[in-house]
Structure 1
Amino acid sequence: MEKQLERIGLVYHPDYNMDLGSHVFPARKYQMVYNLVKQDPKLAELYIYKPDPAKEKDLALVHTKEFLQDLFSLKLTERTQNSELPLTKQIVHSFVLAVGGTILATELTEKYKFVYHIGGGFHHSMPDRAEGFCYLNDAAIAGKLFQKQHPGKKILFIDLDLHQGNGNSVVFQEDPDVFTFSMHQENLYPKKEKSGLDIPLGEGTDDKKYLELLEKSLNEIRSEFKPDLIYYIAGADPFEGDSLGDLKLTFQGLRKRDKIVRDFALATGARTVILPAGGYAKDFHDTVTIHYNTIKVFAAE
């Protein structure tokens, strides 16, 4: 008889809050989401797990030796510069810690149905190079480690960030035990890679159209793939007020998106790690609210 799992676990480390100056990536959002959790009477009692930095041998499950050497040497090269982020010791530490956080979140799925990591979702990073605000691909590394520890188990990536999860698509392209699903704006960064299922969206896609496509896609996936573990890349950037995108999801639509994924995960019986990924709302607090709402959706019985 399978043991009864607790509803939701949380993972966070204060060192995720990188100093990026005026950079468009709002790294201070992690602290703000954490603050909202601690102020919420229903969530404040949850134990928040603090990760250790990932080990270099785990990073090497996905990333090449040459890339990791450049990264840890703080060298701006063709392997590191496409991150479009500064390259400092503190920032690299934050990314290594975030990988550790997603590894810890994955391990905690032995205890919880859902684990929300208040950090991570850096889905553009490639095996041999950084890309798009992403130095290290935390979910791909955690997924590879999970496969190593649980041979034959199946992993599903549900990527609902504004941008295609191109890094995960590349890492797992030839792996029959991993299915990558990405629903993203079409005419936008990055250069598109082949996922298990890609749903490109036109500018102006609203709640109704988006949610219909999401439900249809998940039903298709469920008919052909039975995941043991899900990584849900729950980007806040499909929001109508996002500064980098042209999708038109409302707060209500994004909550409904999260509920659809939650109910899908419960129906499949898969353990689920949720990652915040991107979010660039014109009003910074909207991004924070969207991530916080995702936690509330998954915490609700």
Structure 2
Amino acid sequence: MGLQDLALIYHSQYNLDLPGHIFPAHKYSHLYNRVKKDPVFASWDILRPERALDHDLELVHTKEYLDDLFGYEHTDRTIYSELPLNQNIVSSFCYGVGGTVMAMELTSKYKFAFNMGGGYHHSFPDRAEGFCYLNDVAIAIKKSKETSENHKALIIDLDLHQGNGNSYIFQYDDNVFTFSMHQGNIYPRKEISNLDVHLEPGIKDDRYLTLLRDSLEKIKASFQPDIVYYLAGADPYEDDSLGELKVSMKGLKERDQMVRSYCTNQNIPCVITLAGGYARDFRDTVEIHFNTIAAFGEI
């Protein structure tokens, strides 16, 4: 029997109580409920990840940083986070990492594995940054290399913000190709990806999708991955509170379908994570994430 199409992964620990914070950390439960109410997906099993192992975290992060993180210490290694630092938040990140590692492992049985969390792409080996304490995608890639040293991974990062943590971590790894398409004139301080596309404010659907299509063609001509990690940020959306891109909800659907087709046409499995999303109407963020699930769950 061939590969099934899509695995969905979720844990209630993904959710955080951050009243008044710009990061909508309760979006995960709302997305889960949206999936369970959908006529197509309601009957699907949603898999539950384990908490990430210490060994796995150490594949990317330094001992000194992890000591500070699990000690809930505000030091020069943790201070650049824009989230509180406490047991519940650190535990949430550990389950988020576990979800992406589980998704990576499930690509042996599924074409697509969707972690309804994760995408913590600003986290560096030795420090937190932004809303990111642990780098789940980098950890999953490093873990896959334990069994296949030459395993080739492509990161397609379509969040509003550059995936600077991943760009830094894999800058000298020829078996990992980092591609980030993001608004160029905002946070974070940029690292160098294998392919960076810096978008101007105000870009709309047609130009955005043309740049994505051209970029994927460039990558296809130069790099043949064994797996794709897609960070499907909802924040390029035209009504996002942190961005100035003008991509519609329809345009983001086409973006997701384009990435799906890229993987399907080359028969490459794909891990999908949520990454960011800060729409002025919170329901839009949830719907954009749901649309990504729908794009990869097409029957």
The question of a shared fold, defined as TM-score above 0.5 by the shorter chain, is answered with yes
- Contact 1:125–1:167 (8 Å) recurs in 2: yes
The equivalent of 2:283 in structure 1 is 285
The equivalent of 2:93 in structure 1 is 95
Which of the numbers 164, 170, 176 marks the counterpart of 1:172? Answer: 170
The answer to whether structure 1 residue 32 and structure 2 residue 36 are counterparts is no
Deviation sequence 1:254-283 (CA, Å, 0-9, x none): 000000000001112111000000000000
Task: Tell me the SS of whatever aligns to 2:107.
Answer: helix
Deviation sequence 1:156-200 (CA, Å, 0-9, x none): 000000000000001110000000000000000000000010000
The equivalent of 2:131 in structure 1 is 133
Query: How many angstroms does 1:251 deviate by?
Result: 0.6
Task: Tell me the SS of whatever aligns to 1:83.
Answer: coil
Which of the numbers 97, 101, 104 marks the counterpart of 2:102? Answer: 104
RMSD, aligned CA: 0.7
Which of the numbers 11, 15, 18 marks the counterpart of 1:17? Answer: 15
Query: How many angstroms does 1:21 deviate by?
Result: 2.1
| Separation of aligned partners in 2, 1:280 and 1:95 | 19
Deviation sequence 1:10-67 (CA, Å, 0-9, x none): 0000011111221110010000110011011111122111011111111010000100
| Separation of aligned partners in 2, 1:228 and 1:67 | 31
TM-score by length of 2: 0.99
Deviation sequence 1:111-145 (CA, Å, 0-9, x none): 11011110000000000000010000001001100
Task: Tell me the SS of whatever aligns to 2:196.
Answer: strand
TM-score by length of 1: 0.98
Counterpart residue type for residue 183 of structure 2: Q
The equivalent of 1:245 in structure 2 is 243
- Give the fraction of aligned pairs with identical amino acids, expressed as a percent: 56
| Separation of aligned partners in 2, 1:85 and 1:162 | 19
1:38-53 superposed matches below 5 A: 38-53=36-51
Shifted more, 41-50 versus 119-128: the winner is: 41-50
Counterpart residue type for residue 47 of structure 1: D
Task: Tell me the SS of whatever aligns to 1:68.
Answer: helix
- Contact 1:226–1:268 (8 Å) recurs in 2: no
| Separation of aligned partners in 1, 2:179 and 2:44 | 30
The equivalent of 2:212 in structure 1 is 214
The equivalent of 1:181 in structure 2 is 179
The equivalent of 1:4 in structure 2 is 2
The answer to whether structure 1 residue 190 and structure 2 residue 169 are counterparts is no
Counterpart residue type for residue 16 of structure 2: M
| Separation of aligned partners in 2, 1:196 and 1:267 | 22
Counterpart residue type for residue 175 of structure 2: D
- Contact 1:183–1:200 (8 Å) recurs in 2: yes
